[in-house]
Amino acid sequence: MIIRVRSPEGMHRVEVGLNDTLRILLEKLAPLMRAPTADAIVLTRDARGQEILAEFEHSLVSLGLKHGDMVFANVAASARPSAEPNESNDTAVGTTQAPRESAMRVQQDAVDCELEHESGLIPRPRDTMCTHGARAMCEYCLPIEPFDAAYLEEHNIKHMSFQAYLRKVLSDHKIRGDISGAVPANFALPLEEPEYGVRSKCPGAHAPWPAGICSKCQPSAVTLQRQPFRMVDNVEFASRSVVDTLLEFWRVSRCQRFGLMYGRYEVSRDVPLGVKAVVEAVYEPSQGCEEDGVRVSVGPELDAEIARADAAATACGMQLVGMVFTDLTPAAEPGKVLYRRHADSYFMTSLECRLAAYMQEQRPSACRWARAGRFGSKFVTCCVSGDADGGIDITAWQVSNSAQAMHRADLVVPSSVPSKMCVQEATATRYVPDVFYRYINEYKLSVTANAKPAFPIEYLL
């Protein structure tokens, strides 16, 4: 019989026997699609790729395929040969063009491996609408998914956890519950970080950038919006003494201080499938301290100092989880500090945002569900500042994957206005795509605005 296969290369007609298995079909299809192996082909019943055919040893007839049927095929992105090694993404876990096997061999954090064994389902008590017995369930009391929008809104969770987001993505591919097992051989890895730079080696017949550019190597327009998930959901300090050293330095000198936080990542039960960073110690690298800020030389010297601190922390069973700095100004009332970071001023400055993007980019989070073997970062930033009552409070944040990509492509630069980030001007060697952001106007309508020359930094959180 003849099975029709539609792929990016065109339509293929593959002749198979009535008792042939799905694997035989894939083996015959591989040379037609120029796939490295049969396992690199993703075969689906529909064009949207929702229903994947993965029963390799089952016969085609048992899968419901008959003469003249059409299926859809594509080569997994992680298995495609690429002539463009992206040097800016080289890490210990591979690059964006790394083969699928590299992504599969990444060593994830222990907390991610632990959470992958959990189903993530949120149990619900028996409802007043339930009419069944004690050992039955209905639509009113069935457990719900960790990414359920109504649950997140009810519990005022603005950002779902990364693992909940991963379950949401995998649910579109019919993968639910415990995801600790092996990834299907022909499964296209669903996670991919944004990339806003020009492809350094384009397959097009033109001179490499900046001498030439085409639609294949030119980045698309960027539309910024709030990232729906966080890689780390909470920051916890093991003891008060962890930050007391920073505070004591400010009390004595009235100068600000910067430090690197070391500790571990644990499961957080505050949000479904959440992760928290537990800080055990703070290391203060070489820095210049002023009353209005700190001076840290970002570069090889800082990297070497961090490497020495990392080695000492590893020997103590800890790892680098983030950075912390003070932003304290004494108030006129004794024992009080000014409340500077609020809704009418700024939550974080554009300079702090870019530093966070740089530090997160240096410390990616390994992920076996990402095509590059990495996705986002668990590196957190904490700020010790004043609160509304004149006391001292600690706030924490992470910038989005889009912020990291914009920093990686050198598209943004801090502005003199703390709450605004500037878009770089295009030059002979720097290509800057169109950048937009969306907001709700006074008529409650979603409006798209041009981000040039500057845009609010909350779109990078």
Comparing 375 with 42, the larger pLDDT belongs to 375
pLDDT of residue 442: 86
Taking 60 as the threshold, does the pLDDT of residue 330 lie above it?
Answer: yes
Q: Which pLDDT tens digit goes with each residue over 192-220?
A: 898 888 887 777 777 878 788 888 888 88
Joined tokens for residue 324: 């912390």
Confidence of residue 101 (pLDDT cuts 50, 70, 90): low
- Whether 257 contacts 246, CB under 8 Å: yes
Taking 70 as the threshold, does the pLDDT of residue 285 lie above it?
Answer: yes
pLDDT of residue 50: 64
Residue 57: Cβ within 10 Å count? 7
Taking 50 as the threshold, does the pLDDT of residue 90 lie above it?
Answer: no
Comparing 50 with 184, the larger pLDDT belongs to 184
**Rounded CA gap, 402 and 225, in Å?**
9
pLDDT of residue 204: 72
Q: Which pLDDT tens digit goes with each residue over 443-454?
A: 888 888 899 899
Joined tokens for residue 460: 């990078």
In this predicted structure, which of 100-114, 140-154, 400-414 has the lowest mean pLDDT?
100-114
pLDDT of residue 423: 92
Q: Which pLDDT tens digit goes with each residue over 32-56?
A: 887 888 777 888 887 766 677 777 7
Rg (CA), the chain: 26
Closest CA to 204 of 193, 219, 215: 215
**Rounded CA gap, 359 and 325, in Å?**
14
**Rounded CA gap, 380 and 242, in Å?**
16
Q: Taking residues 314-330, what's their average pLDDT?
A: 92
Confidence of residue 99 (pLDDT cuts 50, 70, 90): very low
Joined tokens for residue 80: 């495609």
Q: Which pLDDT tens digit goes with each residue over 122-145?
A: 998 888 888 888 888 888 888 889
Closest CA to 185 of 27, 325, 401, 37: 37
**Rounded CA gap, 146 and 139, in Å?**
16
Taking 70 as the threshold, does the pLDDT of residue 324 lie above it?
Answer: yes
**Residue 234 CA to its chain's centroid (Å):** 16
Mean of per-residue pLDDT scores for the chain: 85
Q: Taking residues 11-35, what's their average pLDDT?
A: 85
**Rounded CA gap, 21 and 184, in Å?**
17
Q: Taking residues 77-92, what's their average pLDDT?
A: 44
Comparing 405 with 47, the larger pLDDT belongs to 405
Confidence of residue 84 (pLDDT cuts 50, 70, 90): very low
What is the DSSP annotation of 60-73? TTTTT--TT-EEEE
- Whether 21 contacts 12, CB under 8 Å: no
Comparing 184 with 407, the larger pLDDT belongs to 407
Taking 60 as the threshold, does the pLDDT of residue 78 lie above it?
Answer: no
As a 3-state breakdown, the chain gives helix, strand, coil percent values, each rounded to 5, of: 20, 25, 50
pLDDT of residue 83: 39
pLDDT of residue 185: 67
pLDDT of residue 91: 38
Confidence of residue 332 (pLDDT cuts 50, 70, 90): confident
pLDDT of residue 226: 86
Q: Taking residues 239-259, what's their average pLDDT?
A: 90
pLDDT of residue 302: 86
Joined tokens for residue 83: 């002539």
| Residue 330 phi, psi dihedral angles, 5° rounding | -65, 140
Share of the chain above pLDDT 90, in %: 32
